[in-house]
Amino acid sequence: MKLGIISPYPPIKGGIASETEAIYHILSTKYDIEIISYNKMYPTFLYPDDSQYDHSIKNIKKSNINFLLNSFNPFSWKKSTNEILETNCSHFIIRFWNPFFIPFYLYLIKKMRGYNNKIKIYCICDNILPHERIIFDKYLIQYFFRKFNGYIVMSNISLNLLMGMINNRKLIIKSFLPLKNKYQENILKDEALKVLNIKKPKLLLLMFGLVRDYKGLDVVLNSLKYLKEYDIKLLIAGKCYSNKNKYIKIVKDNNLNNMVIWHDNYIPESKVNLYFSATDVVILSHKNISQSGTIPLSYHFNKLILASNLDSFKEHIDDSKTGYLFNKNDVQSLSNTIKHIYKNHDFKLSESYIKNYKTRYSDQKILADYDSLFRL
């Protein structure tokens, strides 16, 4: 069986690309795979001062990794679709997370079906509905999801939302993202802190990845005002894609400058292990989300997770063992939980829990899930 995976792929930035690389390495142990990625994902105006590519990533040129797609230029779609069909894949996976890409994907699926109606097309559903909604998006997404032979979802929330659109449970496989085993292992904490030029606190909290409103940075910052008497720092590692001034105002109004460190830029893959090695607790303070790639990334580095009590997080955190849950959007609940961790948590014990717990995300489990998908 020859499989085509249509998705962002490194050196394109971001978790979607990185996770696709991890999935590729797992599936390539059994299947012949072609990667079909983007040469242009978004118009330049959406990245006005930033590149869409991680230039620290080297040596990704392989004959089966193709950077063909331009999602926003319809005049290029026919040529790229023909090149995809020339790969002679019998099965395709399309990775979906944002309705921005639906027009191109619908065109592609129509041409695939017209070329060979025996081609099987599956969808990895990172999101069912986007984090930031637009008018009528649900109807477009529902129409789109009815085009596939099977689906991978990563939480019960996504499963239930998708069921409301396709009404066929037999076509849905529940899996999760693989561990990020390609990243370097932990280095000594003191060494990582030195490289990052951070003075060692008793407790270092990490928020990792792009900063967007739904991720709840405002909740985390407001919680710190109740923790000033403790030796705690918050490290924000990621570029801000919302109104940064409102976060700066919270810091200034509450005199939190000595507690907050913000590296306001994209973190290249070559430096990811520095941030996770330096930290004690990874915070996921999201106000809504169906899954997060930061969970397997944190577990790869054996890091404790502190997350809002969303159902999608509860599925992947063993409370008080591999992490802690606080009441969503509740500043006092978060500050009390941080205080508890600061005073009482046994990090050596939780590390042993995490090492055992994360076996549920093993390569063998992920491969078995996709085997089930391809039998649909």
pLDDT digits (tens, 9 = 90+) for 163-204: 999 999 999 999 999 987 766 778 899 999 999 999 999 999
Distance CA 327, CA 337 (A): 10
366 belongs to a structural domain: no
pLDDT for residue 211: 95
Summarised one tens digit per residue, pLDDT across range 109-124 is 999 999 999 999 999 9
Burial 257-279 (b: 16+ CB within 10 A, else e): eebbbbbeebbebebbbbbbbbb
What are 259's two structure tokens?
A: 């507690």
Average pLDDT over residues 297-308: 96
Q: Are residues 244 and 347 in the same domain?
A: yes
Say which CATH number the domain at 203 has: 3.40.50.2000
CATH number at residue 32: 3.40.50.11930
Residue 95 inside a domain? The answer is yes
Residues 326 and 349 in one domain: yes
Q: What is the DSSP letter of 1?
A: -
Whether the Cβ atoms of residue 327 and residue 333 lie closer than 8 Å to each other: yes
* Cβ contact 336:348 at 8 Å: no
Is residue 130 pLDDT above 90, yes or no?
Answer: no
Give the CA count within 13 Å in the CB-facing half-sphere of 229.
4
Q: How far is CA 319 from the centre of its chain?
A: 21
What is the arithmetic mean of pLDDT over 262-283? Answer: 95
Question: What's the pLDDT at 259?
Answer: 98
Rounded CA separation 37/87 (Å): 13
- In this structure, how many other beta carbons lie within 10 angstroms of the beta carbon of residue 170? 7
Burial class (CB in 10 A: 0-12, 13-18, 19+), 177: buried
pLDDT on residue 110: 96
Q: What is the dihedral of CA 78, 83, 137, 287, to 10 degrees?
A: -150
CA distances from 6 to 57, 91, 105, 221 (A): 20, 11, 10, 38
Phi first, then psi: give them for residue 208, nearest 5 degrees: -120, 135
Residues 355, 220 share a domain: yes
Calpha distance 365→347 (Å, rounded): 27
| 77: Cβ contacts below 8 Å, ≥ 6 apart | 70, 104, 107, 108
Average pLDDT over residues 29-47: 87
pLDDT of the residue at 137:
84
Contact 211, 260 (CB under 8 A): no
* Percentage of the chain lying above the pLDDT 90 cut: 83
- Please say whether the beta carbons of 128 and 156 come within 8 A: no
Confidence of residue 136 (pLDDT cuts 50, 70, 90): confident
Confidence of residue 47 (pLDDT cuts 50, 70, 90): low
Q: What are phi and psi of 265, to 5 degrees?
A: -160, 165
Residue range of the domain that includes 286: 189-360
* Number of domains within the chain: 2
* 212 found inside a domain: yes
Give the DSSP letter of residue 53.
B
Average pLDDT over the chain, rounded to whole?
93
Residue listed under structure tokens 């070329």: 115
Give the pLDDT confidence score for residue 43 in this predicted structure: 81
pLDDT tens per residue, range 201-259: 999 999 999 999 999 999 999 999 999 999 999 999 999 988 999 999 999 999 999 99
pLDDT digits (tens, 9 = 90+) for 338-358: 999 999 999 999 999 999 999
Asked, for residue 342, whether it belongs to a domain, the answer is yes
Does 48 have pLDDT greater than 60? no
Indicate whether 57 pLDDT > 80. Answer: no
pLDDT band at 51 (very low <50, low <70, confident <90, very high): confident
* Rounded-to-integer distance, Cα 76 and Cα 90, Å: 23
CB neighbours of residue 286 within 10 Å: 22
pLDDT in tens, 274-299: 999 999 999 999 999 989 999 999 99
Strand ranges across the sheet with 150-153 = 65-70, 32-40, 2-6, 91-96, 120-125, 150-153, 172-174
Please report whether residue 374 resides in a domain. Answer: no
The structure tokens listed for 187 are 């280095």
> Does 9 share its domain with 56?
yes
Whether residue 168 lies inside any domain: the answer is: yes
**Structural domain ending residue among the three candidates 143, 174, 205:** 174
